[in-house]
Amino acid sequence: MFAKILIANRGEIACRVIRTARKMGVRTIAVYSDADARSLHVEMADEAVHIGLSPVGESYLRGDKIIAAALATGAQAIHPGYGFLSENPDFVDQVVAAGLIFIGPSAASIRAMGLKDAAKRLMEKAGVPVVPGYHGEAQEIVLLASKAREIGYPVLIKARAGGGGKGMRRVEHPDEFSEALSSARREAKAAFGDDRVLVEKYVDKPRHIEVQVFGDNFGNAVHLYERDCSAQRRHQKVIEESPAPGMTEALRKAMTDAAVKAAKAIHYSGAGTIEFLYENGEFYFIEMNTRLQVEHPVTEAITGIDLVHEQIRVASGGGLSVKQEDIKFNGHAIECRINAEDPRTFTPSPGTITHFHTPGGLGIRVDSGVYSGYKIPPYYDSLIGKLIVHGRNRVECMMRLRRALDEFVVDGIKTTLPLFRDLVGNADIANGDYDIHWLEKYLAKED
């Protein structure tokens, strides 16, 4: 086991990783930018290294400074959290070249799944169902337009390097194709430095259902059930739950089998997520996230397995601590992402938190990176915390969620808490009756 690890991240996820490392007796090194000198992750870690100015390009994306900090402090491994450098295979190569261990998959696995077009080709070969569409190399506009016609409108143009819903355009009609393509390409170029796209069938009313997978370096790969992340706005998740409402045993078996097949196809090691769209009895692979996800605690709640513990264990050369047949799930869990944002317009609301009180009691977990008096810097993601609620069944979970939301106090800034208080009383949410468009429609009606 490692004696010391460095956490190349900030906010709630850095704090969350530190907690597990401490439980395992592993010392932790935080890194921080100018704006984060008084951040919670810096307080919580055993040691902290300043790595640069506030903008991410000067700090949390500076792989060289992060590796130098690890070497200077005697850390043996680097946990990337999510976002920032977590899915950057070049960073993984640099970590390994420096004689350190990356707590995550190999650079080769990340490369195999990093581009949506290559990932889809790989999955097709492995016999995993993918969204029908064009995911080839050639990118001439005439070819893409004719592929779109073949697929049948509406189609979705997607940046192959995409993430966070960027570089994605729904196209209703052939006349709109060329303009949508240019704007998707522009956005993709600016965000990812890569303007290549794929064209997919636009799935009309799907649910987003993903499967948590885990592999080790001894050829084992398991799944830890599914999460439903259909409550989205602008293709970004807002609420996640597990198990998926209405999931049947037969569908679960088919989806989790496909997910494990996908993980095995790339000899996957560490925590990963296989994302699918599900509609009318059919499911289709959309992408794999080769990292720990924001919503991983709902899986931890229902399985009782600490995913970060498994990550550290596997990276340090151990096998998975559980076999598939030992992984059972218990009850129901829901996560709400609490962002420092206006709950209606979703514009960021940085500023000072004057009062921060988290709910407690049976089945409640709050993962956050803030405290009363903390000043939220404007430079980073607006996620300030997550409320994760577990109950013996979905009804109990919803009751507990309502109570926990009532108890949660964040003063001084705007947050998404009022939105969740609204949603928890909604009949469709209470019944688990929502697809990926439901939330946008609900918000449009409320305006």
Q: Closer CB to ligand ADP, residue 134 or residue 202? A: 202
The binder of ligand ADP chosen from 162, 272, 359, 432 (CB under 6 A):
162
Q: Closer CB to ligand ADP, residue 90 or residue 204? A: 204
Q: Closer CB to ligand ADP, residue 154 or residue 351? A: 154
The answer to whether residue 164 forms part of the interface with ligand ADP (CB under 6 A) is yes
Give the nearest distance from C-beta 131 to ligand ADP in angstroms: 4
- Identify which range of 16-24, 202-210, 310-318, 375-383 contacts ligand ADP by CB under 6 A: 202-210
23 φ, ψ to 5°?
A: -60, -35
Give the nearest distance from C-beta 133 to ligand ADP in angstroms: 7
- Tell me, letter by letter, the H, E, C secondary structure of 278-319: EECCEEEEEEEECCCCCCHHHHHHHHCCCHHHHHHHHHCCCC
Give the nearest distance from C-beta 330 to ligand ADP in angstroms: 26
Q: What 8-state DSSP symbol labels residue 244?
A: P
The count of chain residues that interact with ligand ADP, using the rule CB under 6 A, is 20
| 27-33/4-7 β-pairing | parallel
Give the residue among 109, 67, 69 at the shortest CA–CA distance from 88: 109
Whether 291 sits among the annotated catalytic residues: the reply is yes
H/E stretch holding 402 reads helix 394-407
According to CB under 6 A, which residues from 182 to 201 bind ligand ADP?
A: 200-201
Q: What 8-state DSSP symbol labels residue 325?
A: G
Give the nearest distance from C-beta 237 to ligand ADP in angstroms: 7
The answer to whether residue 151 forms part of the interface with ligand ADP (CB under 6 A) is no
Give the tokens for residue 51.
Answer: 């790595």
Give the nearest distance from C-beta 114 to ligand ADP in angstroms: 11
30 φ, ψ to 5°?
A: -95, 155
The answer to whether residue 83 forms part of the interface with ligand ADP (CB under 6 A) is no
Q: Closer CB to ligand ADP, residue 32 or residue 346? A: 346
- Candidate list 291, 313, 337, 394, residue with the active-site label: 291
According to CB under 6 A, which residues from 128 to 147 bind ligand ADP?
A: 131
The binder of ligand ADP chosen from 13, 119, 239, 436 (CB under 6 A):
436
In degrees, to the nearest 5, what angle opens at C-alpha 276 toward C-alphas 286 and 136?
20
According to CB under 6 A, which residues from 228 to 267 bind ligand ADP?
A: 232, 235
Question: Cβ distance 72 to 45 under 8 Å?
Answer: no
The answer to whether residue 154 forms part of the interface with ligand ADP (CB under 6 A) is no
Give the nearest distance from C-beta 23 to ligand ADP in angstroms: 31
Q: Closer CB to ligand ADP, residue 162 or residue 385? A: 162
Residue 4's CB is within 10 A of a number of other CB atoms, namely 17
Residue/partner pairs of 66-70 with CB below 8 Å, 24 or more apart: 66/6, 66/8, 66/31, 67/94, 67/95, 67/98, 67/100, 69/6, 69/29, 69/31, 70/6, 70/29, 70/98, 70/100
Q: What 8-state DSSP symbol labels residue 79?
A: E
The answer to whether residue 156 forms part of the interface with ligand ADP (CB under 6 A) is yes
Among all residues, which ones are annotated catalytic? Answer: 291
Binding site for ligand ADP (CB under 6 A): 131, 156, 162-166, 200-203, 206, 208, 232, 235, 275, 277, 286-287, 436
